[in-house]
Chain A
């Protein structure tokens, strides 16, 4: 495989992987309003656990890590996702029960830093600052894949997984459960007053989103064969936020667009460009600045994102629909009038003179 294809399939892998990560953060932040600034920590736990259960026992490997179960794909990946969800339960009970919005965000940033410090410094857990390496490539032995053929193969596998996860996420978002998430996002006091157990729904959203984060992380470590703390500095969370803000909060197609624009074109494509002579690392700085500028431009001129959230219209319930033009015309009338209707709660015309 020529060099260019290596780059292209690597970019394709990250497009799909960040699409999965964006879906996870979107259900937490875009759908439920939980400002999870610790998201990258959940990605990291997914990656570490997937790696640690994929690797054999640590004895004689020169690495220090827990588990070492030598489990095959996709069991290892599922365990990575579940480990992130388990972390979400702990985090939810610490932070989600009592805190809201900015206070919750601050606590989550702190948790992310604590998690980072533990993984970076406590060597017996996931090999400390060196991280995990030599993680087996899924199916490489069974299918006799070389390093070159593994990359397009695993990019395709990631694409299939992303498609499956997109299907499940779409079902959730279009269900009454998704609507309740959005109600909590818009106003959790109202949602609670309507009988919704806000904590329970937020916990559910955290569990789902964290599972996606864990799967995304697990795919990264299996693709690259290694994972260490430099891969998940707490600031990386904001790249995933940039993906969903640029693409469009609350819309899965938008997340794919955001993943393409931010992660593929701005984060990973420049990494393959030759360094500017005399200025090593300059491209990365320009890259980070470009993401920040894009974020500001989008928030200023198109806060709804490239592909905005679509409201669910009457027609989608299998009931009659009318064109948007008709509705606009009706809306312009803007006169609230009482119309006789089926006896839902008593349909009498009680317009008495009260004034």
Chain B
């Protein structure tokens, strides 16, 4: 695995093929435009942060990108495939997985079962296989269970594997969401505030896991307010304000951008969130 320093960081997404891109995304709620022409590219195999003030439309953009919400106008592409307004299950099948701002565990299932739901194209999801090819289903189930236990081990949830997911703490639910997405073998992972509401020690861990994902070739787009985290692990930053893409680049470059400082960074710095 490459160390952080060995991984080449592009100065702009144009240096590499974009894994995910959107152009002119627009979405209004009862006349209020939450997203108003957002345009950006997410570089392949990199960690990109999506930042901006509250109400900038970050979560709406992620919802549109993942298919959880449709856009009123604009275009979304995964690689060269136009996936605009595809339903989320079709987008997921192209390898794009996501987590949610407020953890959404499958509360009635155990921690292990939460992960076992994730793999795509499971033989046991066909009734024909359940009744006519039970051995095939059983073998795949066992393989998936072993892999899931391995992932739970990495994410520190192994000991909790047989508990109902609804019984986990907030931080554990965050980890469960990420590990569940990982279980689906994503090529692109959208993380909606993965560090929100978790203790500092866990922030370190989650940051480490995200870097691991990058090292394994996963493209990550994460909404994050903690600029120290962004500075440490993100290669590239997209700033949204009032539903538009205000600026893109490295965080160090964006600190010099007056518009960004005025719209977001100044606000955050003055509030004492970073530095």
Majority-rule SS of B interface residues:
helix
- Which residue of A is nearest B117, CB measured? A183
* Residues of chain A with a CB closer than 8 A to B213's CB: 345-346
**Nearest A residue to B164, CB-CB:** A311
Given A176-B137, A317-B141, A354-B203 contact (CB < 8 Å): yes
Q: Is the CB of A339 within 8 A of B113?
A: no
Given contacts A336-B175, A355-B204, contact A331 B68 (CB under 8 A): no
Determine if B107 is an interface residue (Cβ-Cβ < 8 Å).
Answer: yes
A193 and B184 alpha carbons, distance in the complex (Å): 10
Give the complex CA separation of A191 and B209 in angstroms: 23
Q: Tell me, in angstroms, the Cα distance from A348 to B215 when the chains sit together.
A: 10
The docked-state distance in angstroms from the alpha carbon of A354 to that of B202 is 10
With an 8 A cutoff between CB atoms, is B272 at the interface? no
Check A336–B204 contact: CB distance below 8 A: no
- Complex contact B172–A336 (CB within 8 A): yes
Q: Which of A195, A333, A354 contacts B93 (CB 8 A)?
A: A195
Residue A186 CB within 8 A of the other chain: yes
Pair A193/B215 contact, Cβ less than 8 Å: no
Assess whether A4 is interfacial by the CB under 8 Å rule: no
The answer to whether B158 touches A186, judged by C-beta atoms less than 8 angstroms apart, is no
Whether B180 sits at the interface, judged by CB under 8 Å, is: yes
Contact assessment for B156 and A179 in the assembled complex, using a CB-CB cutoff below 8 Å: no
Question: Are A354 and B109 interface neighbours, CB within 8 A?
Answer: no
Q: What distance in Å separates the Cβ of A87 from its nearest Cβ neighbour in chain B?
A: 20
How many Å from the CB of A312 to the closest CB on chain B?
6
Structural contact, B141 and A176, CB atoms closer than 8 A: yes
Name the contact of A330 in the complex, choosing from B106, B147, B155, B160 (C-beta under 8 A).
B160
A346 contacts B216, C-beta separation under 8 Å: yes
* Interface assignment of B11: CB less than 8 Å from any CB of chain A: no
Contact check, A197 vs B106: say whether CB atoms are below 8 A apart.
no
Q: Which of B84-105 contact A (CB under 8 A)?
A: 87-89, 92-93, 97-98, 100, 104
Which of B131, B153, B154 meets A171, CB within 8 Å?
Answer: B131
Complex CA gap A171/B118 in Å reads 20
- On whether the beta carbons of B117 and A191 are closer than 8 Å, the reply is yes
Does B159 lie within 8 Å of A331, measured CB to CB? yes
Asked whether any CB of chain A lies closer than 8 Å to the CB of B21, the reply is no
A177/B125 in contact, CB under 8 A: yes
Number of interface residues of B (CB under 8 A): 79
Per-residue interface assignment for chain B, residues 238 to 258, with 1 indicating a CB less than 8 Å from any chain A CB and 0 otherwise:
000000000000000000000
Chain A, Cβ-Cβ closest to B215 = A346
B98, B171, B229: the one within 8 Å of A336 (CB): B171
Does chain B have a CB within 8 A of A190? Answer: yes
Q: Is the CB of A195 within 8 A of B89?
A: yes
Residue-by-residue, is A136-153 near B (CB-CB < 8 Å gives 1, otherwise 0)? 000000000000000000
Q: How far is the CA of A191 from the CA of B116 in the complex (A)?
A: 12
**Residue among B68, B108, B125, B161 making CB contact with A309, cutoff 8 Å:** B108
The one of B68, B97, B130, B158 in contact with A175, judged by C-beta atoms closer than 8 angstroms, is: B130
Q: A350–B212 contact, CB under 8 A?
A: yes
A190: chain B residues within 8 A (beta carbon): 100, 104, 106
Distance in angstroms from B75 CB to nearest chain A CB is 21
- When C-beta atoms are compared, the residue in chain A nearest to B134 turns out to be A171
How far apart are A314's CB and chain B's nearest CB, in angstroms?
6
User: Which among A168, A182, A196, A346 is the interface contact of B1 at CB below 8 angstroms?
Assistant: A346
Task: State the Cβ distance, A300 to closest chain B Cβ, in Å.
Answer: 20
Flag if A346 contacts B212 (CB, 8 Å).
yes
CB distance from B144 to the nearest CB of A (A): 8
Query: What is the distance, in angstroms, from B51's C-beta to the closest C-beta of chain A?
Result: 15
Minimum CB–CB distance from A248 to chain B (whole Å) comes to 13
Chain A residue numbers with a CB within 8 Å of B162 are 311, 313-314, 324, 327
CA distance A330 to B156 in the complex (A): 12
Instruction: Name the A residues within 8 Å of B104 (CB-CB).
Output: 187, 189-190
Q: Does B9 touch A at the CB level, under 8 Å? A: no
In the complex, the answer to whether B89 meets A198 with C-beta atoms within 8 Å is yes
In chain A, positions 101-147 with a C-beta closer than 8 Å to chain B are: none
Whole-angstrom distance between the alpha carbons of A191 and B184 in the complex?
12
Known: A331-B163, A348-B208. 4 other contacts (CB 8 A): A176-B124, A191-B106, A193-B68, A345-B216
List 10 interface pairs A-B (beta carbons < 8 Å), by A numbering: A187-B107, A190-B100, A192-B89, A194-B117, A313-B110, A317-B145, A336-B205, A350-B208, A352-B207, A352-B211
Give the B-binding residues of A (Cβ under 8 A). 168, 171-172, 175-177, 179-180, 182-183, 185-187, 189-198, 204, 250, 309, 311-314, 317-319, 324, 327, 330-331, 333-334, 336-339, 341-342, 344-355
